[in-house]
């Protein structure tokens, strides 16, 4: 079945405050605050503090007038106020180095908490760090500590359509209602909601968004030219929160918009068109971030039409953006989507590496190659993409999916931060070498130091709860925080989100609320994995909307997403010895680990190997019994989630409780359907009964 519909918000319905309710600002708002510095972002900080103080009894001043509890100061705005204790400025910074455009220093000495920054954005991020800390920011002595983002660009891609798409609707892969930017071909015009969205993003550290779908239609293409004012209005509303706007563009824009006969990236007229068009963009939006491009993929136009490659195409746009400081995010999601299912030599999982690895070193410095975290398509379990290790001379962005296309579409509770943390912590060259996060953060290691970005497909819409499912807000929050610091612990991030979203002062039993939310969310990604596709095989999903089971839904399709189950076994042989050779795209030791049936991790076994149902996993279970056991266990875990949540009735906002209760009921129905269809399918294929004698239809 397709996913259940989400009712759009009404024009007068105020959105849920998410993790920024007024009560979250109580510790800050009860203090005497001195703000030192000037500029639009400093004014944003002032407005935030003033609003908190008006509610909670504190005060905020721009010049010192007596004792203060908190100083927020730009270090380059003249001498620091005398009320700043010496200990706050002379204490050693263990991290060393400059704070940069977005970093800040936090210290507490002699009863005064101090946040210092070298640039206004750092002061804004320092303010929201204080909100996260609450009373802990105003307790005891705290030596100076620098906080800097690990990644330069922390970005959300909106797959929002300006005009309603006849198949995908207003938002492609959107599960929270309509777009917050667009409605029926025009700007939505909800300025308050856009400002509130910018505030949520800034509070987590997100500093960039693209505002339209990477599948650029005719109406969306016009945002680059005659409808640029619509983009500028969004940029104006988000700028006070340090969020820069990017735009998805069609590679065919010179033909579609400019009337040229070609979009050949080596054509002088095409180059001139992009340069002049980009100059006009920056004249209207001086802090414009750049372009996002999906080219030669799933029907989108690209350089292949002219006998050129992706480096030619990306460098064309990079050249137009470079004089203005912009970047082009060129997506590596390129594969043949018209495959013959009879041909087992063609492997979609190989495609990004095969297309892009030979081009390493040819991309301009302001090209960011945007690579999906796995080699296929945002499945609940995939190996990390081999492209990340294959391109040391190219700037990379790892792309995640906050919108839950293949993880329950925000009808299922599925906290994704543990999965993302595994991806970011993965070490492509072995346990002693750099992690994926190190590659993105410019950490030292072999080859040129390029650095990169973390990008995710956004999950918000015009639903009152932003994400459809109130608990899906935790994924949006965790993405921003992990993009700021990939080392953060997902469980600690969940604690942060709980403490902000459900302030203890508003609850009769905050310990029970925290315990319940951890019980529901901590293992929810693995619960989803248990009742859906087993052991990394992926794509046993209904093709009509990617929701619910469709075990053979893609098995004979053109999309190249197969599991090859037959009477003898299941899985895709991607070995060098007998399969597609995809294991050879990884450097050692992973090329050997994935090649080896004995060493391959259980959770990826069917991604890399076709095995008999009797194959014994490292866990000691056979493949067929693992399928049965995990699918029964997954449903039992959803029952426990539902029952635990029911205990919070009357303890939290009834609207939140009711919405989550509704979603958990649907999750249980859908999980049961997954269990019954998957188990029955494999029972009928294999003929092997469940060793525990449970009913399989």
Q: What is the average per-residue pLDDT within 344-350?
A: 92
243, 244, 250, 255 alpha-carbon torsion, rounded to 10°:
150
Long-range contacts of 11-17 (CB under 8 A, 24+ apart): 11/190, 13/464, 14/464, 15/193, 15/196, 15/464, 15/465, 15/466, 16/464, 16/465, 16/466, 16/470, 16/473, 16/656
Residue 9 has pLDDT above 80, yes or no: no
Determine the 3-state secondary structure of 569 from DSSP.
strand
What is the rounded average pLDDT of the residues 382-401? 97
| Residue range 485-500: mean pLDDT, rounded | 98
Separation CA 672–CA 691 (nearest Å): 20
In angstroms, rounded to a whole number, what is the distance separating the alpha carbons of residues 280 and 694? 67
Q: Which residue has the tokens 């300025």?
A: 191
Mean pLDDT of the residues in the chain: 95
Q: How confident is the model at residue 448 (pLDDT cuts 50, 70, 90)?
A: very low
**Cα–Cα distance measured from residue 398 to residue 331, given in angstroms and rounded to the nearest whole number:** 10
Span 416-439, mean pLDDT?
A: 96
Q: What angle (nearest 5°) sits at the alpha carbon of residue 197, between those of residues 212 and 222?
A: 20
**DSSP assignment letter at 399:** E
Q: Which residues pair with 109 in a beta bridge?
A: 112
Contact 407, 533 (CB under 8 A): no
pLDDT digits (tens, 9 = 90+) for 196-240: 999 999 999 999 999 999 999 999 999 999 999 999 999 999 999
Gap between the Cα atoms of 625 and 12, Å rounded: 53
Per-residue pLDDT at 335: 87
Residue 369: pLDDT above 50? yes
Q: Whole-angstrom Cα distance, residue 266 to residue 533? A: 45
CA-closest candidate to residue 354, choices 375, 373, 379, 382: 375
Please state the separation of Cα 467 from the chain's center in Å. 13
Kind and range of the H or E run holding 70: strand 70-74
DSSP helix/strand/coil, 108? strand
Task: Compute the distance between CA of residue 176 and CA of residue 400 in angstroms, rounded to an integer.
Answer: 18
Tell me how far CA of residue 574 lies from CA of 554, 558, 611, 612, in angstroms. Answer: 18, 19, 12, 15
Residue owning tokens 């609940």: 380
The conformational region for residue 468 under phi > 0 = left, psi -120 to 50 = alpha, else beta, is left
The pLDDT of residue 16 is above 50: yes
693, pLDDT greater than 60: yes
Mean pLDDT to the nearest integer, 658-674 = 98
Phi then psi dihedrals of residue 528, to 5 deg: -60, -45
Is the pLDDT higher at 378 or at 11? 378
Distance CA 216, CA 213 (A): 6
For residue range 248-280, list pLDDT tens digits in order. 999 999 999 999 999 999 999 999 999 999 999
Q: Where are the alpha helices (DSSP H) in 426-541?
A: 436-440, 473-484, 490-501, 510-521, 524-531
In the block, which residue shows the tokens 């609450």?
134
What domains does the chain contain, in order, with CATH numbers? 22-147 (3.30.379.10), 153-501 (3.20.20.80), 505-572+610-696 (3.90.1330.10)
**Model pTM?**
0.96
Bond before 175 cis per omega within 30 degrees: no
Q: What sign has the CA pseudo-torsion 503, 508, 511, 512?
A: negative
Q: Would you say residue 434 has pLDDT above 50?
A: yes
Assigned token pair, 226: 């005659």
Structure tokens, 64: 């010192």
The HSE-up count of residue 652 (CA atoms within 13 Å, CB side) is: 25
What Rg value do the Cα atoms of the chain yield, rounded?
26
Q: Which of 455, 373, 458, 426 is CA-nearest to residue 152?
A: 455
Q: Which amino acids are annotated catalytic?
A: 298, 377, 405
Average pLDDT rounded to a whole number, residues 472-478: 98
CB 522 within 8 A of CB 365: no
Please, which residues bridge with residue 247 across strands? 291
- The rounded distance, in Å, linking the Cα atoms of 262 and 401 is 34
Residues 6+ apart with CB under 8 A from 501: 18, 19, 21, 473
**pLDDT computed for residue 443 by the predictor:** 59
Mean per-residue pLDDT for 57-72? 92
Nearest to 61 by CA among 33, 41, 81: 33
Each residue's pLDDT tens digit, 616-652: 999 999 999 999 999 999 999 999 999 999 999 999 9
Q: How confident is the model at residue 65 (pLDDT cuts 50, 70, 90)?
A: confident
pLDDT at 56 over 60: yes
What does the pLDDT average to over 174-202?
Answer: 97
Q: Per-residue pLDDT for 90 more than 60?
A: no
pLDDT band per the 50, 70, 90 thresholds, residue 449 = very low
């Amino acid at each position: 079945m397709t996913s259940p519909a989400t009712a759009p918000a009404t024009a007068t319905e105020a959105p849920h405050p998410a993790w920024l309710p007024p009560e979250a600002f109580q510790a800050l708002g009860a203090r005497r605050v001195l703000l030192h510095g000037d500029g639009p972002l400093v004014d944003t900080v002032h407005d935030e503090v003033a609003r908190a103080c008006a509610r909670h009894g504190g005060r905020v001043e721009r010049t010192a007038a007596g004792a203060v509890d908190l100083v927020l100061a730009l270090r380059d705005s003249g001498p620091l106020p005398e009320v700043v204790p010496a200990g706050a400025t002379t204490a050693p910074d263990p991290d060393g180095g400059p704070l940069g455009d977005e970093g800040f220093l936090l210290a507490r000495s002699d009863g005064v908490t101090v946040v210092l920054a070298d640039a206004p954005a750092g002061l804004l991020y320092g303010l929201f760090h204080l909100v996260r800390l609450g009373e802990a920011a105003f307790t005891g002595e705290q030596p100076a500590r620098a906080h800097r983002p690990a990644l330069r660009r922390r970005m959300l891609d909106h797959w929002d359509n300006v005009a309603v798409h006849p198949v995908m609707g207003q938002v492609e892969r959107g599960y929270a209602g309509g777009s917050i930017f667009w409605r029926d071909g025009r700007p939505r015009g909800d300025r308050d909601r856009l400002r509130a969205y910018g505030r949520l993003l800034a509070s987590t550290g997100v500093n960039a968004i693209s505002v339209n779908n990477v599948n650029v239609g005719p109406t969306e293409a016009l945002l680059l030219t005659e409808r640029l004012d619509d983009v500028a209005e969004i940029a104006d509303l988000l700028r006070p929160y340090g969020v820069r706007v990017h735009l998805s563009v069609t590679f065919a824009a010179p033909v579609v918009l400019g009337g040229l006969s070609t979009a050949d990236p080596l054509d002088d007229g095409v180059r001139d068109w992009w340069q002049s068009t980009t100059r006009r963009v920056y004249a209207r939006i001086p802090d414009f971030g750049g372009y996002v491009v999906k080219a030669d993929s799933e029907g989108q136009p690209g350089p292949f039409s002219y006998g050129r490659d992706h480096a030619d195409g990306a460098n064309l746009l990079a050249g137009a953006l470079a004089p203005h400081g912009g970047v082009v995010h060129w997506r590596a999601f390129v594969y043949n989507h018209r495959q013959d299912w009879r041909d087992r030599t063609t492997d979609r999982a190989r495609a990004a590496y095969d297309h892009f690895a030979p081009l390493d070193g040819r991309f301009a410095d302001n090209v960011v190659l945007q690579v999906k975290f796995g080699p296929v398509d945002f499945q609940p379990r995939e190996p990390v993409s081999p492209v990340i290790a294959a391109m040391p001379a190219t700037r990379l962005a790892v792309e995640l999916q906050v919108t839950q296309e293949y993880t329950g579409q925000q009808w299922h509770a599925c906290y994704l931060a543990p999965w993302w943390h595994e991806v970011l912590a993965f070490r492509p060259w072995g346990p002693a070498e750099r992690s994926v996060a190190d590659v993105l953060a410019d950490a030292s290691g072999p080859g040129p130091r390029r650095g990169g970005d973390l990008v995710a497909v956004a999950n918000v819409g015009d639903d009152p709860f932003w994400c459809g499912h109130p608990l899906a807000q935790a994924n949006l929050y965790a993405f921003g925080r992990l993009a700021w610091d990939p080392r953060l612990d997902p469980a600690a991030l969940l604690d942060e989100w709980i403490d902000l979203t459900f302030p203890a002062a508003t609850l009769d039993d905050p310990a029970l609320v925290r315990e319940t939310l951890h019980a529901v969310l901590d293992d929810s990604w693995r619960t989803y994995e248990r009742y859906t596709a087993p052991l990394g095989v992926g794509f046993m999903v209904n093709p009509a909307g990617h929701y619910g089971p469709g075990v053979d839904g893609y098995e004979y399709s053109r999309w190249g997403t197969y599991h090859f189950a037959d009477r003898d076994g299941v899985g895709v042989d991607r070995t060098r010895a007998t399969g597609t050779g995809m294991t050879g795209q990884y450097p050692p030791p992973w090329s050997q680990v994935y090649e080896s049936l004995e060493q391959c991790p259980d959770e990826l076994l069917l991604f890399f190997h076709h095995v008999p149902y009797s194959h014994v996993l490292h866990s000691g279970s056979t493949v067929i019994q693992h399928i049965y056991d995990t699918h029964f266990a997954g449903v039992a875990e959803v029952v426990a989630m539902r029952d635990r949540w029911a205990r919070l009735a009357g303890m939290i906002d009834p609207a939140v409780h009711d919405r989550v209760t509704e979603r958990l009921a649907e999750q249980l129905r859908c999980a049961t359907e997954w269990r019954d269809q998957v188990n029955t399918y494999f029972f009928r294929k294999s003929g092997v009964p469940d060793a525990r004698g449970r009913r399989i239809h």
